[in-house]
A and B are shown apart, each in its own frame.
Chain A
Amino acid sequence: DAGVTQSPTHLIKTRGQQVTLRCSPKSGHDTVSWYQQALGQGPQFIFQYYEEEERQRGNFPDRFSGHQFPNYSSELNVNALLLGDSALYLCASSLALGRGRGSPLHFGNGTRLTVT
């Protein structure tokens, strides 16, 4: 049973560039969430996708956008990169609320983004 997979594992970009990160959810899961984890901090919620729509969004600027595809996989796009965007970007998948009680998020191993 494949867990959550993310690509690439590492990425180095220059300020002002754009980046796309990819995520495949755990088999059977239909909801994908993205989190940003700075060094020494807990993960911070960016947004969540279900049925190809953004359902909820955290306190992140519009430079952060996403997409969910019919096969439930997802992309995170970040435009006009800043040095402060350097972090571990985590994708997590789960079952929609209607099917369970607070189903736990299952995380991938993340993409380490470095902005220089």
Chain B
Amino acid sequence: EDQVTQSPEALRLQEGESSSLNCSYTVSGLRGLFWYRQDPGKGPEFLFTLYSAGEEKEKERLKATLTKKESFLHITAPKPEDSATYLCAVQDLNFGNEKLTFGTGTRLTIIP
């Protein structure tokens, strides 16, 4: 059974204070690891897909990295508008399996 564990559960940072969110995963074969951002009362918004160990993706102040067992979402000089819950999910290699297994998320708060 695929499993995803995210840490910390919640993180409060001062504006401009960089940090990282962790996503540890267990999957029989990784088709892809996905990062989503979710604002209160909204659906998850797609950020990145990572496919293989060593891969990195960047978007504005966010950078996602991947190893064989975990992924990190690095946030550089965050702004209050980066406050949200960040969800990590994995997709298994089994053919026809598009199911995403999600973690419980990290609730990020950026204080002005």
Q: CB within 8 Å of B: which residues of A?
A: 4, 31, 33, 35, 40-45, 48, 55-56, 58, 90, 92, 94, 97, 101-102, 104-110, 112
Contacts and interface: CB of A to CB of B under 8 A. Distances in A.
Given A42-B87, A104-B32, A108-B43, 11 more contacts: A31-B98, A35-B100, A40-B104, A42-B105, A43-B87, A55-B96, A56-B98, A97-B95, A97-B98, A106-B46, A109-B42
Given A42-B105, A102-B31, A102-B51, A107 B100 contact: no
Contacts of B36: 107
Given A42-B104, A104-B34, A107-B44, A48 B99 contact: yes
B102 to A, nearest CB: 3
Contacts of B101: 45
Interface in B24-55: 31-32, 34, 36, 41-46, 49, 51
B45 A104 contact: no
B100 A45 contact: yes
Interface of B: 4, 31-32, 34, 36, 41-46, 49, 51, 87, 89, 91, 95-105
A110 B98 contact: no
Contact of B46 (A35, A43, A105): A105
A72 to B, nearest CB: 15
B98 A109 contact: no
Contacts of B91: 102
B7 to A, nearest CB: 13
B102 A42 contact: yes
Given A33-B98, A41-B104, A48-B98, A101 B43 contact: no
A74 to B, nearest CB: 14
Contacts of B89: 42
Contact of B96 (A56, A92, A109): A56
B19 to A, nearest CB: 21
A108 B45 CA distance: 9
11 contacts: A40-B104, A42-B103, A43-B44, A43-B87, A43-B100, A45-B100, A56-B98, A104-B32, A107-B46, A109-B42, A109-B43
